């Protein structure tokens, strides 16, 4: 008995990148091929024709399995091969070698409004799109009202979709695909468009589908929030190869960490004979070393440093930077209350607790410093520690992290009386 929905085996896809000037165009003309025919025949005969094209591997030996009812996220930077993978699974393009076995009916939502014709009305497009996705007319008729209701386009059913707003377009497209009842749904970056309310609705529908109907979803997205929210497992692609696959939080951590996993605890060589760091580390609330944290748990930073002889005014401080190198905040031991003096000679162990619900999902670095501010810097450790925050504080917001600013503010909202003029 097999509960595999999809198994991909040694899948590879290559494209030829042409170098000859004629072939540099996306398509050829019959004229070009006829003119170059003699030389091509010659080079084939002689086997010594110079190489005119280079092979580019969009996917290289990809193997993975997806179980029935699993929601698997596929992440990676642009050009990592995510879309090519979905295109192969959806049979739009063929693999060069290897293959995939699919157990169940596949539905795909690869791009917004594909299969929609701008001149046709919403009603006509529902039938067109449904048929393209493999539904019969009878099936579409059965689901028609549900689709229209989900897309919230009742009034515009007989309007050509070219007059639709982009939001309406997405809603309609998602509604058709979501009601297709596929056993395996391939979804590519469609939630990037559309308003937040609808994004939430789509995510809700997808959750429903997974929880109640046991369907399998492969979800490609740049939206890490959505990935963390939906997927139990993730595959990280990099240059056409699987860099990491496994639990979403682990994979996302690698993705956000740009590939290099930083150690949670770092030892330092003493930088000088006045004062210097020895060891620094990050810990979760259970005091286990960690580099990835849930947004709703605090991050505990601990460090030890040696002070050879008493240094009046010495402070230990740290700054947190996001992955773009922007400073998020600064904190120093002199801010501590009750006071935390570190001036005396000896080895000091200090701990700083970064409160939960402050940092947005993303990758962060910590710079450490031992100094008398504006007077003397004894030891500085740049990007000595790194960590990731996973999941959003305050729940899913529906848009990419960049638009959320730098920190999460626990703003209190309420109804108010009319403001005075």
Min separation Cβ 68 and other proteins, Å = 7
In the 8-state DSSP scheme, what is residue 25? S
For other proteins, which residue of 49, 79, 134, 259 counts as binding (CB under 8 A)?
A: 134
**What is the contact mask toward other proteins in residues 234 to 273, using x (rule: CB under 8 A)?**
----------------------------------------
**What is the contact mask toward other proteins in residues 198 to 237, using x (rule: CB under 8 A)?**
--------------xxxx----------------------
Which residues in 31-50 contact other proteins (CB under 8 A)? 31, 33
Min separation Cβ 156 and other proteins, Å = 18
Query: 52 CB contacts (<8 Å, ≥6 apart)?
Result: 18, 19, 20, 23
Token pair for residue 98? 């290897």
Contact, 12 vs 100, CB < 8 A?
no
Q: Whole-angstrom Cα distance, residue 409 to residue 1?
A: 50
With binding defined as CB under 8 A, does residue 74 bind other proteins? no
The stretch near other proteins (CB under 8 A) out of 48-56, 131-139, 261-269, 325-333 is 131-139
Min separation Cβ 80 and other proteins, Å = 18
Pairing of strands 292-294, 376-390: parallel
Which residues in 106-125 contact other proteins (CB under 8 A)? 106, 108, 110-111, 114-115, 117, 119-120, 124
For other proteins, which residue of 18, 61, 104, 239 counts as binding (CB under 8 A)?
A: 104
With binding defined as CB under 8 A, does residue 95 bind other proteins? yes
The stretch near other proteins (CB under 8 A) out of 87-95, 219-227, 234-242, 398-406 is 87-95
Query: 362 CB contacts (<8 Å, ≥6 apart)?
Result: 256, 322, 323, 388, 389, 401
Contact, 407 vs 360, CB < 8 A?
yes
Q: Whole-angstrom Cα distance, residue 140 to residue 221?
A: 28
Asked if the peptide bond before residue 317 counts as cis, ω within 30 degrees of 0, the response is no
Query: 408 CB contacts (<8 Å, ≥6 apart)?
Result: 295, 357, 358, 359, 360, 392, 393, 394
For other proteins, which residue of 70, 183, 189, 225 counts as binding (CB under 8 A)?
A: 183
With binding defined as CB under 8 A, does residue 133 bind other proteins? yes
Alpha carbon of 261 to those of 76, 134, 265, 280, 365: distances in Å?
Answer: 16, 44, 12, 16, 12
Between 26 and 339, name the residue whose CB sits nearer to other proteins: 26
With binding defined as CB under 8 A, does residue 91 bind other proteins? yes
DSSP lists the bridge partners of residue 386 as 365
For other proteins, which residue of 39, 136, 296, 344 counts as binding (CB under 8 A)?
A: 136
Contact, 110 vs 90, CB < 8 A?
yes
Q: Whole-angstrom Cα distance, residue 320 to residue 326?
A: 9
For other proteins, which residue of 59, 62, 74, 88 counts as binding (CB under 8 A)?
A: 88
Provide the binding-site residues for other proteins, judged by CB under 8 A.
1-3, 15, 26-31, 33, 68-69, 87-106, 108, 110-111, 114-115, 117, 119-120, 124, 127-128, 131-137, 183, 212-215
């Amino acid at each position: 008995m097999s509960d595999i929905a999809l198994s991909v085996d040694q899948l590879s896809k290559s494209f030829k990148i042409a170098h000859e000037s004629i072939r540099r165009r996306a398509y050829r003309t019959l004229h070009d091929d006829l003119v170059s025919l003699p030389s091509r025949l010659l080079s084939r005969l002689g086997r010594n024709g110079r190489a005119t094209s280079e092979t580019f591997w969009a996917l290289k030996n990809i193997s993975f399995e997806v179980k029935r009812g699993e929601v698997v996220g596929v992440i990676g930077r642009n050009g990592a091969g995510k879309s090519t993978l979905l295109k192969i699974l959806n049979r739009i393009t063929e693999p060069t070698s290897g293959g995939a076995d699919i157990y169940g009916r596949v539905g795909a939502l690869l791009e917004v409004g594909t299969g929609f014709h701008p001149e046709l009305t919403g009603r006509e497009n529902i039938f067109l799109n449904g048929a393209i996705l493999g539904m019969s007319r009878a099936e579409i008729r059965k689901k028609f009202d549900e689709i229209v209701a989900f897309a919230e386009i009742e009034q515009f059913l007989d309007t050509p979709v070219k007059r639709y707003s982009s939001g309406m377009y997405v809603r309609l497209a998602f509604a058709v695909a979501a009601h297709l009842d596929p056993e395996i749904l391939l979804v590519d970056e469609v939630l990037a468009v559309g308003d937040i309310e609808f994004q939430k609705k789509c995510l809700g529908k997808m959750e429903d589908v997974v929880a109640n109907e046991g369907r399998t979803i492969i979800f490609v997205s740049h939206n890490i929030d959505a990935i963390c929210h939906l997927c139990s497992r993730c595959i990280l692609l990099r240059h056409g190869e699987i860099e990491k696959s496994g639990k979403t939080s682990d994979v996302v951590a690698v993705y956000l960490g740009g590939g290099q996993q930083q150690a949670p605890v770092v030892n330092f060589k003493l930088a000088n004979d006045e004062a210097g760091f020895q060891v620094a580390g990050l810990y979760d609330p259970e005091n286990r070393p960690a580099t990835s944290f849930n947004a709703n748990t605090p991050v505990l930073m601990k460090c030890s440093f040696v002070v050879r002889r008493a240094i009046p005014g010495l402070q230990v401080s740290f700054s947190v930077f996001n992955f773009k190198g922007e400073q998020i905040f600064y904190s120093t031991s002199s801010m501590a209350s009750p006071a935390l003096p570190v001036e005396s000679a000896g080895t000091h162990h200090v701990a700083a607790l970064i409160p939960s619900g402050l940092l947005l999902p993303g990758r962060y670095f910590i710079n450490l410093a031992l100094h008398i501010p504006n007077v003397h810097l004894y030891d500085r450790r740049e990007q000595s520690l790194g960590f990731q925050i996973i999941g959003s504080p305050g729940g899913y917001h529906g848009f990419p992290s960049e638009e959320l600013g730098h920190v999460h503010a626990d703003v209190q909202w309420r109804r108010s009386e009319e403001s005075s003029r």
